[in-house]
Copies of this chain bind each other. A is one copy, B any other.
Amino acid sequence: MVKRNYILQTIRKVYEKYGFQPLETPSLENLSVLTGKYGEEGDKLLFKILNSGDYLSATTSADYQAGYKDMLPKIAKKGLRYDLTVPFARYVTMNKHELTFPFRRYQIQPVWRADRPQKGRYQEFYQCDADVIGTTSLVCEAEIVAMLQEVFQSLGIGYVLKINNRKILTGFAETIGAVGMEGALFVAIDKLDKIGVEKVTEELLEKGFAASAIDQLRPFLESATSGGLEAVTTFLQGNPTGQQGLSELKQVLELAGHMGLALENVQFDLTLARGLSYYTGAIFEVKAKDVQIGSISGGGRYDNLTGVFGLPNMSGVGISFGVDRLYDVMEELQLFPEDAFVATQVMFAQFDQASLHYCLPVLQELRQKGVRAEVYPEAEKMKKQLSYANDKKIPLVVLAGEAEMQAVSFTLKDMASGQQALLTRSALVESILAQTT
């Protein structure tokens, strides 16, 4: 948990440097807000909260006989949030008159999904989102590229940022004569990684794409990045939507260049689609270079996130980090720094009451100077006390028995080397401060 906080704190600091303010929304949302926003599967994974008191009071035997689906709205009004995006959209809509737009917020809170718990899948996990809403400016996209660079550099994670634009994909759908079918195209393309080109083309055929249409698409699916921007630009020449997407993409990269960002980690990837999500412009996805673990960050621009709550025409763009995967990557690459932890830095052993009284003022002085310090609470056998310090990885132990008290001094023991030094109070404090701060 200390390690997870290190990740969250790193992300938080970057968000704040880019002008994002922290926001928290309640864990419980009305089910009417949540339901229908995450697809059928998502609805099933919502945790629903039973109404307080006699939750059956609004039901009849007929409701019970009708089964759990029909009975649900009569016994449960609230649910646990499933992500941070929908509550954010609800919040912006409800507070539209109080907020200053463009509105930037970041949000670091747990979300809940009633998945069967398994390795790498939790029922409760943190999301870590930043969004700016109320502007179509592409500077915001460039700032996302910047924030991603800063977060991953701070954490020490090598990464590849894949970038695409939904309008380019829509342009493809239009150009191959599949107008209005871009949704199915996004979903199918999104599976390229997992199922390969053959299965994806099969799926497209099933969904009603013409064989000739798929033939036009094929070279792009087969070598996602090789043709690159030029080939795509040529292909979409006659299509205004696609041209618009390409222009946006180029502007984002240009702005990122003006910001002095290193763009060697940034790749245009035509096969990046991000499935069913609500994106309408830029889309982002980050993978770790040295660990196979799926995407560790993702986001994009949406033009109508708040429309479903009655606030239309609010364009925004956001990014989210997968904290649990970041954690796994950092563990695997051993990237957590030693000082990311808040373990106790020095422990005072306890010989007896007199020794305790002798140590307490120094203990307090160290704490006042910012050192994380504790005294072993009981005068147990020294072996037990030292093994406690060892188990807790406390690097320094102060010993003050009768000999030390008579010499008006303290023994400072370095637990790693086993070395001991007899020091006066001021020398002790100085030595500890030098080793801990």
Contacts and interface: CB of A to CB of B under 8 A. Distances in A.
Contacts of A24: 1
A100 B357 CA distance: 25
Contacts of A361: 258-260
A114 B124 CA distance: 20
A41 interface: no
A131 to B, nearest CB: 13
Contacts of A21: 2, 342-343
Contact of A259 (B72, B342, B343, B364): B364
Contacts of A139: 350, 356, 375, 377
Given A19-B374, A124-B27, A135-B378, A49 B52 contact: no
A357 B259 CA distance: 8
Contacts of A310: none
A17 B370 contact: yes
Contacts of A260: 360-361, 364
Interface string A3-30: 0010000000000111101111011100
A392 interface: yes
B28 A123 contact: yes
Contacts of A370: 17
A64 interface: yes
A392 B49 contact: no
B67 A64 contact: no
A29 to B, nearest CB: 11
B19 A100 contact: no
A18 B367 contact: yes
Copies per assembly? 2
A54 B255 CA distance: 52
Contacts of A114: 52
A55 interface: yes
A420 to B, nearest CB: 22
Contacts of A150: 367
A140 interface: yes
A104 interface: yes
Contacts of A17: 367, 370-373
Interface in A132-176: 132, 135-137, 139-140, 146, 150
B5 A137 contact: no
A178 interface: no
Contacts of A18: 367, 372-374
Contact of A56 (B28, B71, B104): B71
A40 to B, nearest CB: 13
A239 interface: no
A22 B342 contact: yes
A342 B20 CA distance: 9
Given A18-B374, A27-B80, A100-B392, 18 more contacts: A1-B24, A2-B21, A17-B371, A17-B373, A19-B373, A27-B110, A45-B52, A49-B49, A50-B50, A50-B72, A50-B75, A52-B114, A61-B64, A102-B388, A137-B377, A139-B377, A150-B367, A258-B357
28 contacts: A1-B23, A2-B21, A17-B370, A17-B373, A18-B372, A18-B374, A19-B344, A22-B342, A28-B112, A44-B52, A44-B53, A47-B49, A49-B80, A50-B50, A50-B75, A52-B114, A54-B68, A61-B61, A102-B378, A132-B377, A139-B350, A139-B356, A140-B377, A146-B364, A146-B367, A255-B356, A259-B364, A260-B361
